[in-house]
Amino acid sequence: MQRMWLVVAGLIGLATFILELAYRPAHPYSMWHTWPIFDLIFGALGCTVIVLGAKWLGHHWLQRQETYYGDDL
């Protein structure tokens, strides 16, 4: 099952890569729109930064016990 999902993901990635090469925007507003698979890498890296950054903030600053404000408050 997991292998099937990986194949599907790979096919979607490949299809989007081919489409990206075939249909590059003529007048991109930002530079990164011309870089192939930029959004794939951005998605993975962005997700990693958000998760690790949020967890770091949580562990070092934000997270408290359930009863921090008192019971039922």
Partner 1 sequence: MTTGLHPGFLLFIVACAAACTSGRLRQIIMLAGTALTCYSAWQLSPEAHWTFVVSEHTLNLLHVDRLSHVFGLIFSFTAGIGCLYALHVRHSGEHAAALVYAGAALGVVFAGDLITLFVFWELMAVASLFVIWYGGTARTQAAGQRYLLVHIFGGSVLLCGILLLRAEGADLAVRALTETVHRNSAAFWLILIGIAINAAIPPLHAWLTDAYPEASTSGSVFLSAFTTKTAVYVLIRLFPGAPILLWAGVVMTLYGVVYAVLSDDFRTLLAYHIVSQVGYMVAGVGMGTDLALNGAVAHAFCHILYKALLFMGAGALLHATGKRKLTDLGGLARAMPATLFLYMIGAVSISGFPLFNGFISKSMIISAAAQDHLPVAEFFLIMASIGTFLSIGLKLPYFAFLGPNRGIQPKPVHLNMLLAMIVGASGCLALGLYPEWLYSRLPYDVSYHPYTVDHVVDALQLLLGTTLAFWWLLPQLHGEPGINLDTDWLYRKPLRLAFDRLVTSARQTGTRLEMVRLHLLATINPYLQNPFLPDLHLGFHTRGLTSNTPYNADTHRLPIGATILWVLIFFALTVLYLIL
Contacts to partner 1 by CB under 8 A: 9, 12-13, 16, 19-20, 23-25, 29-31, 33, 37-55, 57-58, 61-66, 68-69, 72-73
* DSSP-derived 3-state class of residue 36: coil
Cα–Cα dist 68/71, whole Å? 8
Of 4 and 25, which has the nearer Cβ to partner 1? 25
The least CB distance from residue 60 to partner 1, in Å, is 11
The least CB distance from residue 30 to partner 1, in Å, is 5
CA 63 to chain centre: 24
Closest CA to 23 of 12, 39, 13, 34: 34
